[in-house]
């Protein structure tokens, strides 16, 4: 399928939008919990283990995630389509289809682990912190299987399991484990790696528990080599899209690691981890969006898809912009959590947060393009990551030639990411608009109305002690921003959708602001 029909049927979308809004509420709560759970890991890691140690951990972490995403076989989005089509076309139980994906993913994971064990320099270009670091490779199969299990739950409109696994279990386990292991002499030096692996497997256990309660064990399941081969071949564009989308967030760390010290990478990684909180808010919408999109694709309801892209895109950018303001205005205080040496990365933090805001449209657009224009989407993604790579290397070399310090190298890597993600959003939104023959923009004037008072409140807090900025300033900025965006940005029907009392409402009425 490469183009929509000439006359799409009108959007009905009440139940679908209510489902997406429920996912939005859950994701917002998950963001708060994830923020509270992730910050201790950064604080403990940088304070107890050191900046260079965290830099080496970061270099390994980015490679592990890339391999894990490859091994997940694009099932984060592809599974929804297989479940929608498979039960009717083949008569295969849904549980069996999920296990097909899990088996294939596990086999790919074993191959990836073998490769990295044979050539550990791939993930440890600057050496290791301890002999225990090699255990990070064991996280690959667990990470990949968790992605599939969470996608299966999302198909049943269960986004709460994703929040439990990724926003509660994983960050809190990692934070608790890294502190506990530090005080165990035998394994103390491997605390970062062991805490990471423990957290990934804890998230897997959380996802598996919910999956078995929802789907149960497979019945009459057996491996089907021919089907698994077809499934893998069909998934290649999705794998490419997933890896490239995540790769744009990891390429900067990788390239910076090739030309800067472990300490510089450690500082940059701190900023990246802070930014990962609003980033997860955006990407965690994908699993709940995928089943809604695939069902509308099956019925040819492209008008509904365009409406969903517009609304969900606005919800995401509205939340992300507020979070970005709350983190960037007291940026020095936020970076100071990692220690005085980390404060130099405040500029990179500001650029990275801006990059995530402009990336929201690309992510939502891609959620549709991977189904209606897979190859075209993949080609765009390849071009974007190539652009980012060229810009990153060029800006790092420019900083070296001008004799600037490593902080400017980090800022250059962040700026390259910003330009790449902005380009991606503009191009993918345009392509989607053409294919759906309907507007998909996510900008509303209320974003600017809400930002102005939030910025003024935030600037006021910068004149106070840093602990006041963090404890009171961050919530105050968010509160002011959210109050305005809720009143001026969300239409009456959207506010009803986000109310727990409403199950579904029609959403064909005009929004409070015209989408840009």
423-433 pLDDT, tens per residue? 999 999 999 99
- What's the confidence (pLDDT) of residue 420? 93
Q: How far is C-alpha 116 from the geometric centre of its chain's CA atoms?
A: 24
- What's the confidence (pLDDT) of residue 337? 79
The percentage of residues in the chain with a pLDDT greater than 90, rounded to a whole number, is 28
Q: In this predicted structure, which of 116-130, 229-243, 313-327, 475-489 has the lowest mean pLDDT?
A: 229-243
- What's the confidence (pLDDT) of residue 32? 61
Looking at the predicted structure, is the pLDDT value of residue 514 above 50? no
Span 503-512, average pLDDT: 38
Looking at the predicted structure, is the pLDDT value of residue 24 above 70? no
Span 313-324, average pLDDT: 87
Give pLDDT tens digits for 73-97.
Answer: 887 777 877 777 764 446 677 888 8
Mean pLDDT of the chain: 81
Rounded Cα–Cα distance for residues 152 and 7 (Å): 32
Span 318-338, average pLDDT: 88
Give pLDDT tens digits for 42-85.
Answer: 888 888 888 888 888 888 888 898 899 889 888 777 787 777 77
What token pair was written down for 60?
Answer: 């390994």
Rounded Cα–Cα distance for residues 21 and 503 (Å): 10
- Phi–psi pair at 282, nearest 5 degrees: -75, -50
Nearest residue to 494 via CA among 24, 160, 31, 27: 24
Give pLDDT tens digits for 241-265.
Answer: 777 777 777 788 778 877 777 777 7
What token pair was written down for 423?
Answer: 């380009």
Looking at the predicted structure, is the pLDDT value of residue 17 above 70? no
- What's the confidence (pLDDT) of residue 37? 66
Looking at the predicted structure, is the pLDDT value of residue 388 above 50? yes
Looking at the predicted structure, is the pLDDT value of residue 14 above 80? no
**79-82, long-range: CB within 8 Å, 24+ apart, which pairs?**
79/148, 79/151, 79/152, 79/155, 79/290, 80/151, 80/154, 80/155, 80/287, 80/290, 80/291, 80/293, 80/294, 81/290, 81/294, 81/371, 82/231
Band (pLDDT 50/70/90 cuts) for residue 515 is very low
- What's the confidence (pLDDT) of residue 506? 38
Please give the biggest Cα pair distance in the chain.
68
Looking at the predicted structure, is the pLDDT value of residue 117 above 60? yes
- What's the confidence (pLDDT) of residue 22? 62
Give pLDDT tens digits for 435-486.
Answer: 988 888 888 888 999 999 999 999 999 999 988 998 899 999 999 999 999 8
- What's the confidence (pLDDT) of residue 476? 94
- What's the confidence (pLDDT) of residue 51? 81
- What's the confidence (pLDDT) of residue 283? 61
Given the structure tokens 């015209």, which residue do they identify?
A: 514
Residue bearing the bigger pLDDT, 156 or 350: 350
Burial 38-73 (b: 16+ CB within 10 A, else e): bbbbbbbbbeebbbbbbbbbbbbbbbbbbbbbbbbb
């Amino acid at each position: 399928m490469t183009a929509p029909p000439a006359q799409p049927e009108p959007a009905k979308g009440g139940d679908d939008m209510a489902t997406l809004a429920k996912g939005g509420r859950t994701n917002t709560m998950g963001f708060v919990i994830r923020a509270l759970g992730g910050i201790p890991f950064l604080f403990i890691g940088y304070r107890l283990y050191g900046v260079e140690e965290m830099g080496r951990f970061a270099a390994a972490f980015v490679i592990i995630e890339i391999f894990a995403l490859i091994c997940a076989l694009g099932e984060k989005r592809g599974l929804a389509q297989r479940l929608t089509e498979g039960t009717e076309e083949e008569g295969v139980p849904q549980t069996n289809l999920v296990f097909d994906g899990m088996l294939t993913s596990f086999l790919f994971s074993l191959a990836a682990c073998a490769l990295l064990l044979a050539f550990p320099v791939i993930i440890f270009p600057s050496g290791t912190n301890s002999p225990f670091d090699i255990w990070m490779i064991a996280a690959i199969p667990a990470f990949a299987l968790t992605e599939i299990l969470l996608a299966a739950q999302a198909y049943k409109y269960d986004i709460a399991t994703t929040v439990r696994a990724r926003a509660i279990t994983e960050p809190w386990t990692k934070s608790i484990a890294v502190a506990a292991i530090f005080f165990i002499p035998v394994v103390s030096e491997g605390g970062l790696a062991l805490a990471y692996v423990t957290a990934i497997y804890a998230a897997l256990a959380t996802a598996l528990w919910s999956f078995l309660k929802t789907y149960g064990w497979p019945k009459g399941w057996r491996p089907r080599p021919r089907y698994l081969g077809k499934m893998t071949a069909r998934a290649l564009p999705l794998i490419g899209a997933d890896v490239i989308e995540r790769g744009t967030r990891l390429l900067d760390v990788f390239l910076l690691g090739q030309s800067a010290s472990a300490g510089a990478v450690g500082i940059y990684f701190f900023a990246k981890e802070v930014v990962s909180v609003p980033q997860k808010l955006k990407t965690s919408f994908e699993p709940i969006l995928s089943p809604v999109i695939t069902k509308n694709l099956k019925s040819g309801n492209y008008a509904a898809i365009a409406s969903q892209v517009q609304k969900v895109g606005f919800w995401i950018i509205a939340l992300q912009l507020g979070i970005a303001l709350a983190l960037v205005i007291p940026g020095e205080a936020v970076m100071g959590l990692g220690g005085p040496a980390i404060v130099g990365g405040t500029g990179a933090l500001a650029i990275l947060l801006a990059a995530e805001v402009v990336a929201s449209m690309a992510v939502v657009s891609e959620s549709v393009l991977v189904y209606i224009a897979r190859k075209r989407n993949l080609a765009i993604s390849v071009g974007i990551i190539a652009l980012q790579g060229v810009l990153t290397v060029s800006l790092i070399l420019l900083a070296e030639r001008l004799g600037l310090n490593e902080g400017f190298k980090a800022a250059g890597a962040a700026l390259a990411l910003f330009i790449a993600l902005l380009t991606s959003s503009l191009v993918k939104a345009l392509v989607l608009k053409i294919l759906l023959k309907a507007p998909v923009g996510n900008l509303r004037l209320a974003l600017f109305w809400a930002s102005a008072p939030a910025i003024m409140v935030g600037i006021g807090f910068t004149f106070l002690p840093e602990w006041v900025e963090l404890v009171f300033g961050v919530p105050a900025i968010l509160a002011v921003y959210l109050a305005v965006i809720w009143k001026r940005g969300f239409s009456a029907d959207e506010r009803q959708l986000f109310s727990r009392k409403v199950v579904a409402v029609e959403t064909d009425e005009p929004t409070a602001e015209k989408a840009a």
